[in-house]
Amino acid sequence: MTFLPIVDRELRVTARRHATYSLRLLAALGAVVTSVFIYGVQLPAPPRYLGHQIFWGLAVLAFIYGVISGRRATADCLSSEKREGTLGLLFLTDLKGYDVVLGKLAANSLNGFYALLAIFPVLALPLLMGGIASGEFWRVVLVLVLTFLFSQAVAIFASVLSRDARQAMGTNFLLFLLLAAAGPLCAAGMAAFLSTNPRVISGFFLSCPAYTLYLAEATHYALSSTRFWWSAAIILGLTCLLVALTSLLAPHSWRDKPLNSGRSDWRGLWHQWLYGNDAKRRAFRKRLLDVNAFYWLAARVRLKPFGVWLLIAFIAGWWVFMRMKFAFNWDDWSLMFTTALMLNTVLKAWPGIEAGQTLAEEQKMGTLELLLSTPLRVRDILVGQLLALRRQFFLPVAVVMGVEFIVGLSAGRPSVDSKILMCASFNVIMLFVDLVALIGVGMASGLTARSPTHASVSTISRVLVLPWVAYFAITIAVLSASGAPNEISWRFYLYLWFGLGLLADVAFGLPAWVRIQTRFRRLALKRFTGAA
């Protein structure tokens, strides 16, 4: 028998996919564009400084990619097999738990790992410019690989504990925070309220991949080389432990459990917390069904709006902390820009993902065709989805738009800086227009994508990522062609960002809204008929 037969099969299948090659090309191209942009912005600087900036700019972006790749790729790989009833069939054979787990990891993470590898040659180019040493380069490569594997291990462990896709995503996020962020948070609390040895406090950071990346920098490594290797070893150990636990749990996690009223286990408590007890669920279901049947289907998790408010509160807390820690003024341009960027990115991406999640999940499970065979009209489905989005996001988005405009109006007084008022106004307009486009593109993608993950990636990349790529490319070209980059007005960059964003919204959002209103049924049946 072939050793690790599922891994062997999945690698062969993945190697034949076109995406295996195109994703590597896009990753390398994105790294090149980012490098050129950093080079153009910092052009008057010495080569050694440029090399250092390009290297660490790419390293941070690759690190962020490694952190989120597991949540995107493997968080639902085992839980989807449970829902479809195919995981138990695999264990009727001679396959072991590690065969299935490693096979799933190979199938779902290979493309992401290839994309990460494609960035490494571009990451090595700053070696020719100076500013970094070969040891620093290889340490960063080690950290990026470990972070990627750690993210995949957390995701597949969350998947074996879950059955629902949303539950798998939530468990993945919470587990990653517990392993990577709980230690630093404890250290921050100890440093603030206790007189503790700094070396003891730094030990709480060892399980955090971001701390390992921080220690990989040449100056920090020279002072703390031992801590760097300990941190890398702990992250590797946690990765192996999570994969081993997943392999042990997988053969026993596929069985359906009786739906009893016992709420003693953590799954029952979690379900009750999200959906409410029986009386609350009945009342909530009746209230939503009286309005729209699909509204209940898309909004039956009662605490969805609470998650949005919680994230806004977290960003607001970060703003307060930065003001107190670094003595920023409330109208400081850099702090306002960073906070607005964080808020608007989240409040754009989250509704875009939610808009297509329900439709994509129903499409994948085959229940969307059943819904379309009932007296439920297409208009009812669209209205129900919009009502669910309104329930979850309308009030938070309205509050954020109002606060941003009021703050921009206050800080943009002629005596302060009218630039802030202009940027705040454009920012509020783009938040609204992007949301309209993202919801339309998200619902259209949910009807045709292979999975909820593909629907989310397609939506975000077209409406949010593509305009920024075009913005960076045009900015680099202008800076390279201009003999005096410092003389370019800030209005040029603002109008360019605003114009490209509107262009993407019209180019992708308007056709998407037309398609879902005129060809909804044809899009929903596309995977059977092949027609759009």
pLDDT(261) > 50: no
- Are the beta carbons of 116 and 145 closer than 8 angstroms? yes
- Are the beta carbons of 501 and 508 closer than 8 angstroms? no
pLDDT(259) > 50: no
Same domain, 384 and 458: yes
Residue-wise pLDDT for 28-38, tens only, equals: 888 888 888 77
Would 271 be classed as within a structural domain? no
**Residue 145: what pLDDT?**
93
pLDDT band at 299 (very low <50, low <70, confident <90, very high): confident
Same domain, 397 and 488: yes
Average pLDDT over residues 2-12: 69
Same domain, 315 and 210: no
Residue-wise pLDDT for 489-531, tens only, equals: 778 888 889 999 999 999 999 999 999 988 888 888 776 555 4
* DSSP for 18-82, written as a single string: HHHHHHHHHHHHHHHHHHHHHHHHTTTS-HHHHHHHHHHHHHHHHHHHHHHHHHHHTTTHHHHHH
Q: What is the percent of the chain with per-residue pLDDT over 90, rounded to a whole number? A: 14
Would 269 be classed as within a structural domain? no
Would 261 be classed as within a structural domain? no
| Domain-ending residue, one of 256, 288, 323 | 256
Query: Quick one: DSSP state of residue 486?
Result: G
Same domain, 38 and 165: yes
Same domain, 195 and 330: no
Residue-wise pLDDT for 134-160, tens only, equals: 899 999 999 999 999 998 888 888 888
Structural domain count, the chain: 2
Q: Helix or strand or coil: residue 296? A: helix
Same domain, 412 and 444: yes
Q: Helix or strand or coil: residue 1? A: coil
Distance CA 477, CA 468 (A): 14
Could you tell me the residue range of the domain that residue 167 belongs to? 1-256
Same domain, 177 and 46: yes
Same domain, 214 and 315: no
Same domain, 230 and 285: no
* DSSP for 311-334, written as a single string: HHHHHHHHHHHHHHHHT--TT-HH
Would 266 be classed as within a structural domain? no
Would 268 be classed as within a structural domain? no
Instruction: Output 293 or 416, whichever has higher pLDDT.
Output: 293
pLDDT band at 488 (very low <50, low <70, confident <90, very high): confident
**Residue 188: what pLDDT?**
66
Same domain, 296 and 241: no
pLDDT(402) > 60: yes
Interaxial angle between packed helices 47-73 and 18-41, expressed in degrees from 0 to 180 and rounded to the nearest 10: 150
Query: Quick one: DSSP state of residue 310?
Result: H
* DSSP for 247-281, written as a single string: HHHHHHHSS-----S---SHHHHHHHHHH--HHHH
| Domain-ending residue, one of 256, 288, 319 | 256
Residue-wise pLDDT for 458-478, tens only, equals: 888 889 888 988 888 788 777
Distance CA 206, CA 208 (A): 6
Would 98 be classed as within a structural domain? yes
Residue 275: burial class (beta carbons within 10 Å; 0-12, 13-18, 19+): middle
Same domain, 292 and 361: yes
pLDDT(98) > 80: no
- Are the beta carbons of 378 and 289 closer than 8 angstroms? no
Average pLDDT over residues 10-16: 72
| Domain-ending residue, one of 191, 226, 256 | 256
Give me the sign of the Cα torsion angle 74, 179, 101, 18. Answer: positive
Residue-wise pLDDT for 57-92, tens only, equals: 889 889 988 888 766 677 777 777 777 777 777 776
Average pLDDT over residues 333-346: 82
3-state secondary structure 380-423: HHHHHHHHHHHHHHHHHHHHHHHHHHHHHHHHCCCCCCHHHHHH
Would 445 be classed as within a structural domain? yes
Structure tokens at 285: 């279901």
- Are the beta carbons of 356 and 442 closer than 8 angstroms? yes
Same domain, 252 and 284: no
Interaxial angle between packed helices 466-481 and 490-504, expressed in degrees from 0 to 180 and rounded to the nearest 10: 150
Would 270 be classed as within a structural domain? no
pLDDT band at 436 (very low <50, low <70, confident <90, very high): very high
Structure tokens at 389: 């989005």
3-state secondary structure 423-459: HHHHHHHHHHHHHHHHHHHHHHHHHHCCCHHHHHHHH
